[in-house]
Chains A and B, each alone.
Chain A
Amino acid sequence: MRSLGFVVAATVTAVGFLFVPALILGAPLEPVMGFVQKIFYFHVPCATMLFLSTFVCAGGSVAYLFKGSEAGDRVAASAAELAVLFGLCTLVTGPLWGRKAWGVWWQWDARLTSSLLLELIMIAYLLARRYAGPAGRRLAAALALFAAIDVPLVYKSVDIWRTVHPRTTVVPTLDPRMRPAFWSAFALILLVWSLLFALRLRLEKARAELAELQLETEDLLEAAS
């Protein structure tokens, strides 16, 4: 049943990859920025997935830190990778848009800097898990909490400080003719996120089970010899 759900979701995603770009191309051109504004349709959903992944990672980390939940740790590790992946997509597509719209690749303004900081914290999370030894998972979990604190700062930064980045009012005040394309792209990216998360979680669970089996086998073989 779970496999059937996965196949259906994967099929819908594949269809979405064909359907959504057509909707985006058919949406009206933004009068000031022109064609380059089409990046918006995937840039914003990717940034939202970065936030979602960070919150999921922080939730799992809280469960691991305060309740010792191994499942929470697996959820956190899976979400952290997705945070880095979607953060990378956001930080690459943003400057491509900015180069055309602002004339520069990068500005050290509040939104861009805090987003970069969030991405670096999530990379630090993965590095801590891999290289910080036995305490690595706990250290990484603490980092995830810092990352979650950074998310509201990233989101509200454009309203608090004067920045070159568009404000949070862009999506609510979007031209109604652009909304179908935007929300379709958003749904597609959310679906991709869900599929990747399910796959990554399955891998993490399989690794944990394998490690447990390996320990049991070592014990069995030692007892037999």
Chain B
Amino acid sequence: MRTKIRALYLFLAAFLAGALVWLAPALAAAQEFEKVSGAAREELPAGRFVAAAYGFIWVALLIYVVSIARGLARVRADLGDLKQRLDRAGPRP
């Protein structure tokens, strides 16, 4: 089992090293930005982007809170089931 875990770690390290090598050209390209002057500017309504950003954060947080609440409710229900099973089985010896 330990050998398998070690093999997994090695594979993971090799994968990350490979990914870094693969990304290197993109990182190098990032050093080659050139200043562009006189380019046409696209006019976009900023309000929509701000609203979308804030809306996304609140919705994501809300969904997460709901998922935790559902998880807690499920645990509570399972505990109830367990109690019922124990009650049906009678008093402990």
What residues make up the interface of A, taking CB atoms closer than 8 Å to B?
17, 21, 34-36, 38-39, 42-43, 46, 81, 85, 88-89, 92-93, 96-97, 99-100, 103, 107-110, 113, 117, 135, 138-139, 142-143, 146, 161-164, 192, 196, 199-200, 202-203, 206-207, 210, 213-214, 217, 220-221, 223-224
- What CA separation (Å) do A162 and B47 show in the bound complex? 29
User: Interface size bucket, B side?
Assistant: 35 or more
The number of residue pairs between A and B whose CB atoms lie closer than 8 Å in the complex comes to: 117
Interface residues of B in 36-89 (CB under 8 A from A): 41-42, 44, 46-47, 49-50, 52-54, 56-58, 60-61, 64-65, 68, 71-72, 75, 78-79, 82, 85-86, 89
Contact B4 A35 (CB under 8 A): no
Task: Kindly list chain B residues whose C-beta atoms are within 8 Å of the C-beta of A210.
Answer: 75, 78-79, 82
Task: Kindly list chain B residues whose C-beta atoms are within 8 Å of the C-beta of A199.
Answer: 65, 68, 72
Secondary structure call for the B interface: helix
Whole-angstrom distance between the Cβ of B20 and the nearest chain A Cβ:
9
- What CA separation (Å) do A109 and B56 show in the bound complex? 24
Q: Mark B1-18 against chain A: 1 for CB-CB distance below 8 A, else 0.
A: 100110011001000100
Contact B27 A200 (CB under 8 A): no
Whole-angstrom distance between the Cβ of B52 and the nearest chain A Cβ:
5
Given that A142-B12, A146-B12, A214-B82 are contacting pairs, would A36 and B49 also be in contact in the complex, using a CB cutoff of 8 Å?
Answer: yes
- What CA separation (Å) do A223 and B93 show in the bound complex? 9
- What CA separation (Å) do A97 and B78 show in the bound complex? 44
Whole-angstrom distance between the Cβ of B34 and the nearest chain A Cβ:
11
Whole-angstrom distance between the Cβ of A37 and the nearest chain B Cβ:
9
